Amino acid sequence: MPRFVLLLIALACASLQLHAQVRTTPAPTAARLVGEWIFEMEGDAQPQRVALTLAGDSLRGQVYGQNFAAALIGTRLTFAVGDFRWRATVRGDSLVGFLGIAPDSSRWSGVRDVRPPVPRSFRLEPTTWSRGISATATPALRIAAGDTVRTNTIDAGGWGRGEYGERLNKLTMGGNPLTGPIYIEGALPGDVLMVTLHRVRLNRNWAFSGTWLMDNAIEPSYATERKGTPPDAPQSNKWLLDTLTGTARLDKPTAALADFTVPLTPFLGVIATAPGAEFTPSSRESGSYGGNMENRFIREGATVLLPVRTRGAYLYLGDGHAAQGDGELTGDAMETSLDVTFSVEIKRWGFNDIVRVEDAEQIMSVGVGGSLDEAMRRATSDLARWLEREYRLTSTEAALVLGFAVRFDIPDVVPPGFGVTARLPRSALGRFKRR
């Protein structure tokens, strides 16, 4: 047989094999697309979380608050929402297409929202720190719901875990430098980031504090009296931290304070999610996003619920305290560095607009405002809403529970923000069923 005939036969066989491979490559099925997706629309900074379910041969979901039924033909997905037609090409775990009516259509895309099959553990050793709570900073780490992070913070003055006054231990400028940001995959605006603090421990044996009461916490008359009477001698602000006895004492106390000790209660003065790309508060400020709340209950064993205002949440933490009384009356609490281990979860469609904290004994709403009465109103209102929405109480029932069981704390009176924590013991919740 001539050689060119053999070559033609070989080429024909190869072509048949190629066509057979193409025909056997499976097209996506509707069932394959079932699950959680994140849709992004060109010109819209608000991504949409969409749950696709299967009903017969069509996919059902909801976007922008409107239900839709989608058809999948080959790799083409189409559906209508109001007057807008959505169409996309399926490419594995992503969707790429247009919505609207030509020539006014705009691009949109979708990615499957998948958390890792097994929770992961990360170690974050910061080398830079932030003094702003920003959604545009480069993330120091990217994690997902279920993951755990081991990290550390430095103190409000920029000192690390080394010795007091050691030159090389000054790691950065002061001003509440924060660890982060940490980007949380799958966190969207409207969600709530749940940060569980598994470990909040001292990692050095010293701290520093303020030594003078804040002017805004005292009467003008006392401020005048105090300033008119110079102290007998400058007071050292260095504290020695003894983890064996669980107490702190001044390094160089006056005679009157020689036996004065303070129980160690380490906690994070700052924990926050970015409030949005258009607003970058400093690490000294606080608000509904969290921030410099100085709340002593944000400690080991607590879960902090932070509103998510931007995709990825952008989590920050720092400003470790070894101890503090309410108000942070001396301007600086017992400032120190900490080792912190935490994990995160995402409460989807949580829509909280204030920071909440839970631990084994109580639930708490943290109000921040321009005055103490404004902060109190915010904390009280949120705790009442919490009881109504998640414990199914009426407004009257919530009022009776709060009226006889609530406790208030004032964690922060350092300007510009003031804080009030409304606490409710779990014993007062009785047998109320939580949603």
Give percent of the chain above pLDDT 90: 78
pLDDT of residue 116: 92
Give the count of beta carbons closer than 10 Å to the beta carbon of residue 162.
15
Burial of 383 from C-beta contacts in 10 A (0-12 / 13-18 / 19+): buried
Domains of the chain, first to last: 30-112 (2.40.128.20), 127-162+169-201+263-360 (2.60.120.580)
pLDDT of residue 50: 94
pLDDT of residue 102: 66
pLDDT of residue 1: 54
pLDDT of residue 225: 83
Burial of 431 from C-beta contacts in 10 A (0-12 / 13-18 / 19+): exposed
**DSSP string covering 35-104, please?**
EEEEEEETT-S--EEEEEEEETTEEEEEETTEEEEEEEETTEEEEEETTEEEEEEEETTEEEEEESSTTS
pLDDT of residue 5: 46
pLDDT of residue 415: 86
pLDDT of residue 155: 97
pLDDT of residue 82: 86
Burial of 108 from C-beta contacts in 10 A (0-12 / 13-18 / 19+): buried
pLDDT of residue 377: 97
Q: CA geometry: angle at 319 spanning 256 and 222, to 5°?
A: 40
Residue 351 to residues 287, 358, 382, Cα–Cα distance (Å) = 16, 17, 12
Residue 133: closest CA among 308, 273, 287? 273
Residue whose token pair is 């409107």? 66
Residue whose token pair is 């875990």? 161
Q: Rounded CA gap, 113 and 260, in Å? A: 54
Q: Rounded CA gap, 166 and 155, in Å? A: 14
Rounded to the nearest angstrom, the gap between the alpha carbon of residue 237 and the centroid of all alpha carbons in its chain is 32
pLDDT of residue 228: 56
pLDDT of residue 27: 62
What is the full per-residue pLDDT of the chain (435 aa) written as tens digits? Answer: 555 444 444 545 555 454 444 444 456 788 999 999 999 999 888 899 999 999 988 899 999 889 999 999 999 999 999 888 999 999 999 999 999 876 778 999 999 998 899 999 999 999 999 999 999 999 999 999 999 999 999 999 999 999 999 999 999 999 999 999 999 999 999 999 999 999 999 999 999 999 989 988 999 998 888 765 555 556 789 999 999 999 999 999 988 899 999 999 999 999 999 998 788 999 999 999 999 999 999 999 999 999 999 999 999 999 999 999 999 999 999 999 999 999 999 998 888 899 999 999 999 999 999 999 999 999 999 999 999 999 999 999 999 999 999 999 999 998 888 999 999 999 999 888 887
* All residues at 6 or more sequence positions from 30 whose CB lies less than 8 Å from its CB, including other chains: 54, 57, 58, 59, 72
> What is the DSSP secondary structure assignment for residue 135, as one 8-state letter?
S
Give CB contacts under 8 A, 24+ apart, made by 369-378: 369/417, 369/418, 369/420, 370/416, 370/417, 370/418, 371/418, 372/410, 372/413, 372/418, 372/420, 374/418, 375/417, 375/418, 375/419, 375/420, 376/408, 376/420, 376/422, 378/354, 378/420
